[in-house]
């Protein structure tokens, strides 16, 4: 089964509690159905479909799954068949739940990262079949692939450092993000990339995930396809080189990029 690492951490909020550990989840969602829910004549004849997506369990991870999620797709009525085909062409997509704001316990809604419909592309290519990007990976756990990539020459030598307890990108990160995005856009063979936030002892696990999400979102803004990237976290080594638990260093609060799938386009 196609799968990605799942992160689910949480505690209940007691009365009067001002802070709690955030509930987050990320993984894959399978398309259950694509249903036409609306038609309109204004301002031009258009149709809206709703995709129903179901979160999928991941082998070796906590299988406490969020409820089904929905995503709407709208196009001109003349593209109705192409719109349905577009939704059904991606039966497995990335999905995630954002952690709640600081001091709150209620997680956000399930976010479905299904690709948006492009009418111009539909005219050139009526139907598109098969998964793309990270959806092509068959693995029990993305963390396994991240570990393998970090031990090989496939890892990209770019890292982003963060301040303690913060997921805000440093002010000097823009130039590095520009350069990295340009490289990734020119490297179509790198079909799936892990944006990996390193979890540092003494910080909430949600901070590492938020850092990875921040870098991924900035790369998307710069034109890197969302389906080619997955935000992940990895645990610190259990022991340091001296055989004892070592204190966290500033360089540990980082996000790195690992290649999870390197194939020529079209394979």
Per-residue confidence at 113, pLDDT binned at 50, 70, 90?
A: very high
Contact 83, 117 (CB under 8 A): yes
**For position 74, what pLDDT does the model report?**
94
Q: Which residue has the higher pLDDT, 11 or 239?
A: 239
- CATH number for position 137: 3.30.1330.60
Q: Are residues 195 and 258 in the same domain?
A: yes
- The residue among 131, 149, 165 that closes a domain is 131
Among 171-175, 190-194, 202-206, 237-241, which is the least confidently predicted range?
A: 237-241
Q: Are residues 100 and 7 in the same domain?
A: yes
Q: Are residues 151 and 240 in the same domain?
A: yes
Q: Are residues 156 and 248 in the same domain?
A: yes
Q: Are residues 93 and 195 in the same domain?
A: no
What average pLDDT does this structure show over 130-137?
A: 68
- HEC assignment per residue over 7-32: CCCCCCCCCCCCCCCCCCEEEEEEEE
Q: Which residue has the higher pLDDT, 38 or 148?
A: 38
Half-sphere exposure of 217 (CA within 13 A, CB side): 10
Per-residue confidence at 2, pLDDT binned at 50, 70, 90?
A: very low
Q: Are residues 45 and 139 in the same domain?
A: no
**For position 180, what pLDDT does the model report?**
92
Contact 260, 192 (CB under 8 A): yes
**For position 150, what pLDDT does the model report?**
47
**For position 1, what pLDDT does the model report?**
37
Per residue in 79-99, pLDDT tens? Answer: 888 999 999 999 999 999 887
Q: Which structural domain range is residue 201 located in?
A: 133-267
**For position 181, what pLDDT does the model report?**
92
What average pLDDT does this structure show over 192-207?
A: 86
In this model, does residue 192 exceed pLDDT 80?
yes
- The residue among 108, 131, 154 that closes a domain is 131
Nearest to residue 56, comparing CAs of 132, 125, 139, 130?
A: 139
Sequence-separated (6 or more) residues with CB below 8 Å from residue 10: 20, 21, 22, 23, 105, 107
Q: Are residues 106 and 194 in the same domain?
A: no
Q: Are residues 202 and 91 in the same domain?
A: no
In this model, does residue 213 exceed pLDDT 70?
yes
**For position 141, what pLDDT does the model report?**
44
């Amino acid at each position: 089964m196609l799968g990605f690492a799942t992160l689910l951490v949480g505690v209940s909020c007691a009365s009067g509690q001002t802070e709690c550990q955030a509930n987050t989840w990320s993984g894959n969602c399978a398309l259950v159905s694509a249903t036409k829910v609306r038609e309109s004549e204004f301002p031009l004849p258009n149709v809206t479909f709703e995709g129903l997506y179901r979160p999928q369990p991941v082998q070796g991870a906590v299988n406490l799954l969020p409820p089904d999620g929905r995503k709407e797709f709208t196009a001109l009525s003349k593209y109705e068949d192409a719109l349905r085909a577009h939704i059904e062409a991606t039966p497995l997509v990335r999905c995630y739940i954002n952690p709640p704001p600081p001091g709150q316990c209620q997680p956000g809604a399930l976010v479905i990262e299904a690709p948006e419909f492009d009418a111009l592309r539909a005219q050139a290519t009526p139907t598109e079949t098969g998964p793309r990007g990270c959806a092509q990976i068959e693995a029990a756990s993305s963390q396994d692939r991240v570990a393998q990539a970090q031990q090989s020459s496939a890892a990209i030598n770019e890292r982003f450092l963060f301040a303690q307890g913060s997921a805000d990108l440093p002010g000097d990160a823009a130039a590095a993000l520009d350069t990295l995005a340009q490289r990734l856009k020119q490297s179509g063979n790198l079909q799936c990339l892990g944006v990996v936030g390193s979890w540092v002892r003494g910080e909430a696990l949600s901070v590492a995930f938020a850092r990875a999400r921040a870098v991924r979102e900035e790369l998307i803004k710069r034109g890197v396809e969302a389906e080619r990237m997955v935000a992940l976290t990895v645990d610190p080594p259990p022991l340091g080189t001296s055989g004892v638990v070592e204190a966290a260093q500033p360089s540990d609060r980082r996000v790195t990029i690992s290649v999870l799938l390197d194939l020529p386009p079209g394979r």
